[in-house]
Structure 1
Amino acid sequence: MKRGIIATAFVLLGFVFPGVANAETPPGCASAGQIGSTAYIKFQGNNIASVKQFAGCGSNWSYVYMWESFRNSGHHWITQTAVAVYSSASDSTPDSHQGGKADPYDPKELWSKPASTLTKCTAAYGLVSVAQDYSYNKYTGKRC
């Protein structure tokens, strides 16, 4: 009886929180963990992607996860991600983007290349270009 109730609860959670992004870890660095908060890219008023920053193994990574609700929408997209690097905590515009990576073929998720930026102020950058529409981007909060 208890197992049935628990199983039902997990199924219902899937309906209450559809499309929640569950990032794993960057390729080649199982000890990395998320730093900072998650940013969300919107299209037509709905969240379509999560942008996160990870640190570990001497590097930072940026990560974009496309939500299942958008992946099932019939749209096609291109995704880009990179680690944005700032000179100081007070800067509002990044000096550069490192570890950049793009995937033009409707990716479910995309990791940047590792960026040796642990001693700098950084944020994860994500961009989604929806076919026959516009590009939408977002930065996570800066971490110094």
Structure 2
Amino acid sequence: MKRALMVAAALTLSVLSPGMAHAESAPGCGPVTQIGSTAYIQTGTSSSSIVASVKQFKGCGKNWAYVYVWDQYISKGRSFEILTAIYPDGANPAGGVRQRNKQENWSKGTNTLSQCTRASGTFVDLVGDPSYGYQEFTDKRC
């Protein structure tokens, strides 16, 4: 029984922690490489309340933030908004992009590779509570 629980936990972690992305394409840049870990936006305390992933990428001499809203939330057909931005240490957020009802959202590329930065994703359920945003940050990368 204990071994079965350990296997189930390992499988869950492998699904929720895919690690570094190989390469994705930022708008106007082409292939970029993920830096740091993936963060997860949750609207509750259970793993079933995860609605989106947040990642930070580098490429074309810039940092990029990226949010992907999970299929299980998209399939609900609810209206939502996401905001994606890069947060340099000790500075205001940069490159912010806000979109409504889009599954993927890229920030603008920021000239912050020489700074410590985190990517941020904010998710707002426009049906449930449009006045509240669930925000999550990736780990800091220097």
Shorter-chain TM-score bucket reads 0.7 to 0.9
Is the CA contact (8 Å cut-off) linking 2:24 and 2:32 kept in structure 1? no
- Counterpart position of 1:39: 39
**Which has the larger Rg?**
1
Q: In structure 1, what is the Cα distance between the partners aligned to 2:92 and 2:118?
A: 11
Amino acid at match of 1:31: P
- Counterpart position of 1:70: 73
Q: Give the SS at the match of 2:24.
A: coil
- Counterpart position of 1:122: 117
- Counterpart position of 2:99: 103
Amino acid at match of 1:27: P
Q: Which ranges in structure 2 are unaligned for 5 or more consecutive residues?
A: 1-14
Kindly report which structure 2 residues correspond to 1:47-86, keeping only aligned pairs within 5 A, or say none. 47-86=50-89
Q: Please report the TM-score for the alignment, with normalisation by the length of structure 2.
A: 0.76
| Pairwise CA RMSD | 1.9
After superposition, the C-alpha distances for 1:52-95 in whole angstroms (9 at most, x for unaligned) are 000011100000000000001232100101000104xxxxxxx2
Q: Please report the TM-score for the alignment, with normalisation by the length of structure 1.
A: 0.75
Q: In structure 1, what is the Cα distance between the partners aligned to 2:42 and 2:135?
A: 9
Sequence identity (%): 42
Is the CA contact (8 Å cut-off) linking 2:24 and 2:31 kept in structure 1? no
Amino acid at match of 1:102: R
Q: Which ranges in structure 1 are unaligned for 5 or more consecutive residues?
A: 1-16, 88-94
After superposition, the C-alpha distances for 1:111-130 in whole angstroms (9 at most, x for unaligned) are 00010000000010100000
**Structure with larger RCO (C-alpha < 8 A, sep 6+):** 1
- Counterpart position of 1:11: none
State the 1:30 CA deviation.
2.3
Q: In structure 2, what is the Cα distance between the partners aligned to 1:47 and 1:122?
A: 23
Number of aligned residue pairs: give it. 118
Q: In structure 1, what is the Cα distance between the partners aligned to 2:63 and 2:135?
A: 19
